[in-house]
Structure 1
Amino acid sequence: MSSNKQPVINKFGVISSSYYEKLFKCNGQNLYKSRSGKSKPSYSVTRECILKFNHTENLREKERLKEQLTKNILRCKRRLGLRTLGSGKHVNIPGGWIEATYLAQCKGDIQEEALNVLYDSLDHASFDYCQLPALFFVAESVLYRLCCDAFQKTYLYSVEMKLAKIGYLVFLRLFVFFLHGHLGGFKAHLLRLQQYLNVLSLSEETYYKYPNIFSNVAFILKTSEIIYERVLLSESTFSPNGNTEGYENVYSDMEFQRHLRFNQGGYEVNHLLWHCVAAWSCVQNNSPKLNNVLEHLNFHKTQLQNKCWLDSALALLVLAEAAKLNMVCLKALMDLVRDFILSIMSAQNQEESYKVNDFSWAWNIVYTYVTILAEICLYAATSDLRKTVFIGFCGCKSSQKNISLKDTVSEDEPVLREASVLGLLKYFSSKISENCNQLIWTGYYGLVYNLVRMSWELRGDEEQNGLRNTIWQTLQKTKDHEKDERIRIAVKIAQAELNDPTDPFTSYGTKVPPNVGDETLSKYIGWRIANTLSKLFFPSIDACAVPLKKLSIKQVQRKYPKKKEDPMKKRVLHFTVREHPSKSELSMFPYPDLFTRVDEQLARIVDHHWQEELKIRQKEDAICEAEERKDKELKEKNHFKEIMKKREEKLHKQTKPYELPPRTEVISLESKERNVRKVTDYRFSTKIVQLQTGILKLPPSAIQ
């Protein structure tokens, strides 16, 4: 199988180092050159070492080799920067991917650990143009393992599932690079992948019962189909100044008109993806235009039904990142998918329209959304977001009442009110049957499969005990009442993929500390893609969407040599305020180009007219409030007059109900008190006169 165009691969799937050295070069620079300039390989794992480890029968030799390979895995983790999200001086992402791919050729625990390291790095690593050769190497290795090794086995293996997940992340990254127009120089690499992709397209019967793998395979095939059509069959490149005829009447956004299309018959990004990226940018920048963007997104929700579903899946992935931070975006995401499912189901009921439109691909969107729900439920910013995506906006009292199983379903037709986890679980469980649509049982399968993984990832997290208990109770109720074998397989597949000695259904009370990089769901790839696409669709002045390869230090020194200063000359620097302004006054950005200045000027004009309109509206509102206040006062006066008139007619009194008695009554009381005082004073004076004249005599006791 060795030739000039084909890699040298032995029967164990190990690619030779000679092909490796020819393949991985980026712009004429060897990837394994060290900082000192000396050439050295970026890996120490050789083909002989792998073969010896896989086939040796000597236990001591096997333990020695395993110890050496374990050290290589630890070094690979450090090189990939698993604890620093791929950043740092010690990080070499392409070299780490290659070394992890080599280590994945080993058998046993080394293979499992290497695949986990590779998956975690592909999830959180940033996008860089220099990663493309390594990406194609990983893609070729994964496709070779799937086509030449996995298909020959009768049973499904956990390694097979991990390879499918890694392949999904690799082709997802390749599609993002394709949107940036960076795959034009890698046609030879694409041609090498074509033979494996042709074999992979025949795997529908093999993976049809396992949507968790089949969805990844479908994504790989759809992505490769688009890339091959645009890169190999046409010479299309990305151009921000594409043709925008037919879109001016719908939108007047200049950014959208400039960055929507690919020129020369290339790939066209749909409105839905563009507005999802815009919503994510608004959430990141705390922009007040978020509601307007979501209104436009709702206007284009029918584009989710397009047969080219790759953009729709990418749009949901980006909108989910905004939903992890914002409740309004979460509501928009759930409503978008709810309307999509209802429209597909209504089209299925009308057999003629269903056959014409051919919605056989719709299950890919539903399964992608179900996986996204699990990611939001685990990694959302607040507990309210996590609770809402699981239970829904209805404010249910108990999660146990949300699952209507088949034996307790009422005769009424089930209605999908919310696309939450429990809402979809209730809807799919009531619709599932042996002859049901693939969308129904695939969505139900994905929910149960992801619930098992969510319960496993929440182990040992005391803050999430409530959510984990709810998930566990939901799974137990589903397992007890669901008799469909496809759904029961979902639980077994998830447990086999986790390959954990502690059963999440029985040992939920035991504390298992979660390890770094031990996640089974993608945690960072959505954020990386949203960030990269936002820079592509809304480019700033000083930012590049995907950074190209940086010039080496030697090239920079050769291009800009330092001038030698004469040591005999002494320079005296005179600092003044005018010559050296403060740091805050210096411009941190280069002078903007023409389009940027036009956009800024248009924004200032729009803001000026908006401020004037706001002032006019404020004046009109003040006039309306004054008139309403006068009318209200007049109504109160008339109402009070009517009350007083009725009181006078009934009680013959003109006093108000809450007034005190008139002043005359108070005066009469005071006069009575004065008269009483006068009478007492008169009596006392008469008694004194009688005592003086002898008429009245005191008793002897009083005199003493």
Structure 2
Amino acid sequence: MAVTRGATLNLMLGIRSVNMHVEKTPVMDKFGIISSSYYEKLLNFNYQNLSNKKKQKSSPVFSITNEFILKFNETQNPVEKEELLDLARKSIMKCKRKLGLRTLGLGKHVDLPAAWTEVVYLAQCKGEIQDEALNILYASLDQASFDCDHLPALFFVAESILYKLCCDAFLKTYLYSVETKLLKIGYLIFLRLYIYFLHGHLEGFQQALLRLQPFLCALCFAGESYNQHPNILSNAQFILKTSEIICKRELRSGSIFSLIRNQESFGSLNHDTGQRGYEVTHLLWHCVAAWTCVQRDSPRLSDVLHHLIPCKTQLRRKCWVDSVLALLVLGEAAKLHMACLRALMELLRDFLTSILSVQKQEEGNIVDDLSWAWNIVTTYMTILAEVCLYAATSDLRKTALVGFCGCKNSQKSTLLMDKPEEEPELKEASILSLLEYFSSKISDNCDQVIWSGYYSLVYNLVKMFWELQGDEEQGGLRNLIWQTLQKIKNYEKDVRIQNAIKVAQAELNDSTDPFTGYDAKVSSDVGEEVFSKYLGWRIANTLSSLFFPSLGCRSLPSKKPLKQSDHMKYPKEKQESMKKRVLRFTVRERHSLSELPMFPYPDFYTKADEELAKVIDYHWQEELRVRQEEEALCEAKDREDKELEARKHFQEVMKKREEKLHKKTKPYELPPRTEAVSLEKNVTQKS
């Protein structure tokens, strides 16, 4: 697939004309080598910003050095290349253990700052090592807990990722799969930085923020090259928007964003950026309240959702970062409760309806003000896909896909291949309903919200289908997604929507066509994380502790020495509860309270009595079986005795008859045939 980029990238490094190209097979980007001494100085610089009064440890010694990376990338000797590859794989395994990927970032063996740093080193090695390093970095940033001690390493990773994007990836002629991974990682990093910002923990990192400014400025100019790929552009826009909010608050003397104000329209902030703090929107506050009520099984959930409805107008604010955060938190609540899922779908339905109606009424003045609206729609599509995959019950997953009233029409075609005369009304914001709505409105000159939402739906459907491969319990859901994708692939003529399928396949690093190999099972060693599974839960829990500290929620850990281990901060019970959140039920769920057990679980003595009753019943059944066998034998013997007595009686009767009548025939028995013939002859002679 080749799509021409409609803009030039004006960087400090030069001007280039860019063509967008995504191949079906993964093509690795060749990064320039960044010296390890630069990384060590950068990491030590960030750690010194954490606290000038503390005595810092000496910088960690890493096995991956600048010489190793140069030798790994430039060697042509097959034997030496295999040895270096084996060493790099061992380093990857060590990093996986330090990251705690199997324990959700918890345990004595976990050292996230050191592991993040070494993974960034490994990401400079070409080939499969680079791909695997970025995969485990993305997985770790998704599942790691929030801790202020992670901030220096987090800024280090942020600067490294932005450096690779601006000084290497942007200089390439085509868009590579590594570039999309870097933007996804950058999205997770700045989402975490924004949460730290809301807690007020970025006050000592002004120098680190200043070091990010040139790269963020370059990203502003490069963002136009992603116009044909809304999901990639959305990640870049989120990085820029959160950076602007943080820098306006922390860098009071001004930032580099003031230089590009005329070229990038960010809009004014509708927040209180005074000395005391940062005021969030009521929509975000109510979404966090709803999540807290779901976690605590509070009866006030209905009241919170009722007060959430009037806040839906805040989705149309130009400062859309808080709106994205609100949808993310409400999406986590929707994975656990049907009422929250209904509220989430109603929010986006009303948002879409109001945005499109306003654009129709005043197209001349409102379009520029609502140019950010597609970011909200794109984020919602990803959240809805995660609900459809990771919700707690099958009812929630099915509702996210077909909607509340979609069960009756699930067999019908979800795409309107022939555009109807009257445009269909958007009744609910489920996946299939939105597909039908967007497919009826798609055209060459349609609004960006329409085609971006349609693109994101198809893009996420391909990833959902890939995620469900090998899961026999979700076979029906996977088949419905596959049928929908087949219809899109066969009947949708819009090039942008067809590109969404190709881009998603390229990001999955899939060498086979999932449309023809849908029965193939995915191996357990696949390292590519399709969706973020844990970060939403981490953010909702952290914001709940910030907004409702009186409920006893655990807030972000304060800044303290690095000696304290992570396993002391989070008990094992929290780890187990977090694991249960993403498990799917393998039994049929109870749909009503009448099916719930009405009695408590039995104690030890009750169980012992039940076991004793079982033993007694078993022996009683054995004794009953023996008695039945004895009775059967007695009955058979009595029957034989009666038959023998009847036979003796008959013999006595016949003996007496023979003595009296001199006949051996039985009573009422005809004589033999010879006797009858002689008797007949005698009668005829006499006559």
Q: If the TM-score is normalised by the length of the shorter chain, which range does it land in?
A: 0.7 to 0.9
Q: Name the CA distance, whole Å, in 2 between partners of 1:31 and 1:176.
A: 27
Aligned amino acid, residue 560 of structure 2:
K
Confirm or deny that 1:228 pairs with 2:238: no
Deviations 1:326-378 (A, max 9, x none): 00000000000000000000011112575287100000000000011111111
1:217 is displaced (CA, Å) by 0.1
- The offset of 1:204, in angstroms, is 3.0
Q: C-alpha distance in 2, partners of 1:125/1:431?
A: 41
Q: 1:342 aligns with which of 335, 353, 370?
A: 353
Change beyond 3 A, Cα 1:21–1:205: closer
| Letter paired with 2:357 | S
Q: 1:116 deviation in Å?
A: 0.2
Displacement of 1:30: 9.2
In structure 2, the CA distance between the partners of 1:553 and 1:66, relative to structure 1 (3 Å rule), is closer
Deviation of 1:57 after TM superposition, in Å, equals 1.4
Report the AA paired with residue 51 of structure 2.
Answer: N
Q: CA deviation at 1:553?
A: 6.8
Which residue of the partner structure matches residue 341 of structure 2? 330
**In structure 2, how many angstroms separate the alpha carbons of the residues matched to 1:271 and 1:553?**
39
Residue 675 of structure 1 aligns with which residue?
none
Report how far residue 503 of structure 1 moved. Answer: 2.7
Q: Is 2:86 aligned against 1:86? A: no
> Residue 119 of structure 2 contacts residue 133 of structure 2 at CA under 8 Å; is this kept in 1?
yes
Instruction: Confirm or deny: 8 A CA contact 1:82 1:517 kept in the other structure.
Output: no
- Tell me which residue corresponds to 1:412: 422
In the alignment, what sits opposite 2:200?
A: 181
Q: Quick one: which of 468, 475, 478 aligns to 1:465?
A: 475
Aligned to 1:246: none
Quick check: 1:171–1:220 contact (8 Å CA) kept in 2?
A: yes
Which one-letter code corresponds to 2:178 in the other structure?
Answer: V
Aligned to 2:389: 378
Aligned Cα root-mean-square deviation (Å): 2.2
Q: Closer, same or farther in 2 for the Cα pair 1:133/1:444, shift >3 Å?
A: same
- Residues of 1 paired with 2:253 and 2:284: CA distance? 23
The aligned residue for residue 44 of structure 2 is: 22
Q: State the Cα distance separating 1:268 from its structure 2 match.
A: 1.7
Q: Paired residues, what number? A: 515
Select the residue among 518, 525, 531 that pairs with 2:535. 525
Is the contact made by 2:43 and 2:153 (CA closer than 8 Å) also made in structure 1?
Answer: no
- Residues 627-666 of structure 1: pairs in structure 2 closer than 5 A: none
Structure 1 residues 98, 551: CA separation in 2 closer, same or farther (over 3 Å shift)? closer
Distance 1:377 1:266, change over 3 A: same
Residue 33 (structure 2) aligns with:
12
Q: State the partner residue of 2:81.
A: 62
Structure 2 counterpart of 1:208, from 200, 203, 227: 227
CA deviation after TM superposition for structure 1 residue 154, in Å = 1.3
For 1:621, the equivalent position in structure 2 comes to none
- Deviation sequence 1:27-58 (CA, Å, 0-9, x none): 3599995xxxxx57253111111111111111
Alignment equivalent of 1:484, drawn from 480, 486, 494: 494
TM-score, reference length from structure 1: 0.70
The 5 Å alignment of 1:134-145 reads: 134-145=153-164
The 5 Å alignment of 1:619-634 reads: none
CA distance in 2 between partners of 1:299 and 1:392 (Å): 23
Could you say if the C-alpha distance between residues 60 and 540 of structure 1 is closer, same or farther in structure 2, counting changes exceeding 3 Å?
farther
Partner of 1:503: 513
Higher RCO (C-alpha under 8 Å, 6+ residues apart): 2
SS in 2 for 1:307: coil
**Using a 3 Å threshold, how does the CA distance of structure 1 residues 49 and 353 change in structure 2: closer, same or farther?**
same
Structure 1 CA distance for aligned equivalents of residues 203 and 54 of structure 2: 20
Displacement over 6 Å in runs of 4+: 29-32
- Structure 1 segment 452-601 matched on structure 2, within 5 A: 452-515=462-525, 518-540=528-550, 544-551=554-561
3-state SS of 2:221 partner? coil
Task: Please name the residue that 1:421 is paired with.
Answer: 431
Partner of 2:278: 267
8 Å CA contact 2:33–2:66 kept in 1: the answer is no
Of 80, 83, 95, 2:114 maps to 95
Q: CA–CA distance in 2 between the matches of 1:471 and 1:356?
A: 34
The CA deviation at 1:516 is: 7.2
Partner residue, 1:308: 319
Give the TM-score normalised by the residue count of structure 2: 0.72
Unpaired stretches in structure 2, ≥5 consecutive residues:
1-30, 255-270, 565-687
Cα distance in 1, alignment partners of residues 181 and 333 from structure 2: 27
Contact 2:46 2:208 in 1 (8 A): no
- Partner of residue 684, structure 2: none
CA distance in 1, matches of 2:135, 2:43: 25
Pick the aligned partner of 1:44 from 41, 60, 63. Answer: 63
1:152 maps to 171
The CA distance in 2 between the partners of 1:495 and 1:18, in whole Å, is 37
The residue type paired with residue 99 of structure 2 is: L
Query: Could you tell me which residue of structure 1 aligns to residue 261 of structure 2?
Result: none
Q: 1:388 aligns with which of 399, 420, 435?
A: 399
Tell me the amino acid that sits aligned with residue 481 of structure 1: Y
Contact 2:426/2:434, CA 8 A, preserved across alignment: yes
For the 8 Å contact 2:92–2:133, the answer to whether it is kept is yes
Corresponding residue of 1:587: none
Change (3 A) 1:464 1:29: farther
Report the CA distance shift for 1:229/1:79 in structure 2 as closer, same or farther (over 3 A).
same
Kindly state the Cα deviation for residue 540 of structure 1 after the two structures are TM-superposed.
3.9
In the alignment, is the contact (CA less than 8 A) between 1:414 and 1:430 conserved in 2? yes
Partner of 2:625: none
The one-character-per-residue Cα deviations of 1:633-688 (angstroms, maximum 9, x if unpaired) are xxxxxxxxxxxxxxxxxxxxxxxxxxxxxxxxxxxxxxxxxxxxxxxxxxxxxxxx
- Change in 2 beyond 3 A, CA 1:31/1:89: farther
C-alpha distance in structure 2 between counterparts of 1:118 and 1:153, whole Å: 23
One-letter amino acid matched to 2:394: S
SS at match of 1:399: coil
* CA contact 1:82–1:121 (8 Å) conserved in 2: yes
Q: How far apart are residue 548 of structure 1 and its match?
A: 2.0
Which residue of the partner structure matches residue 452 of structure 2?
Answer: 442
Determine the C-alpha separation between the residues in 1 that align with 2:420 and 2:189: 46
Partner Cα separation in structure 2 for residue 502 and residue 158 of structure 1: 16
Q: 2:180 aligns with which of 161, 167, 173?
A: 161
Given that 1:24 and 1:30 are in contact with CA atoms closer than 8 Å, whether structure 2 keeps it comes out as: no
Counterpart contact for 1:168–1:216, Cα < 8 Å: yes
Secondary structure of the equivalent of 1:151?
A: helix
Quick one: which amino acid aligns to residue 489 of structure 2?
Answer: K
Out of 379, 397, 409, the position equivalent to 2:408 is 397
In structure 1, how many angstroms separate the alpha carbons of the residues matched to 2:526 and 2:297? 30
Give the partner amino acid of 1:124.
Answer: Q
1:369 — aligned with what?
Answer: 380
CA contact (8 A) 1:457 1:514 kept: no
Q: Offset at 1:388?
A: 0.2
CA distance, structure 2, for counterparts of residue 186 and residue 152 of structure 1: 29
| Counterpart-to-counterpart distance in 2, 1:516 and 1:262 | 44
In 2, Cα distance between equivalents of 1:234 and 1:279:
38
Contact kept, 8 Å, 1:275 with 1:297, in 2: the verdict is yes
8 Å contact from structure 1 (residues 81, 88) kept in 2? yes
Say whether the 8 Å CA contact 2:334–2:341 is kept in structure 1: yes
Gaps of 5+ in 1: 1-9, 34-38, 236-259, 555-704
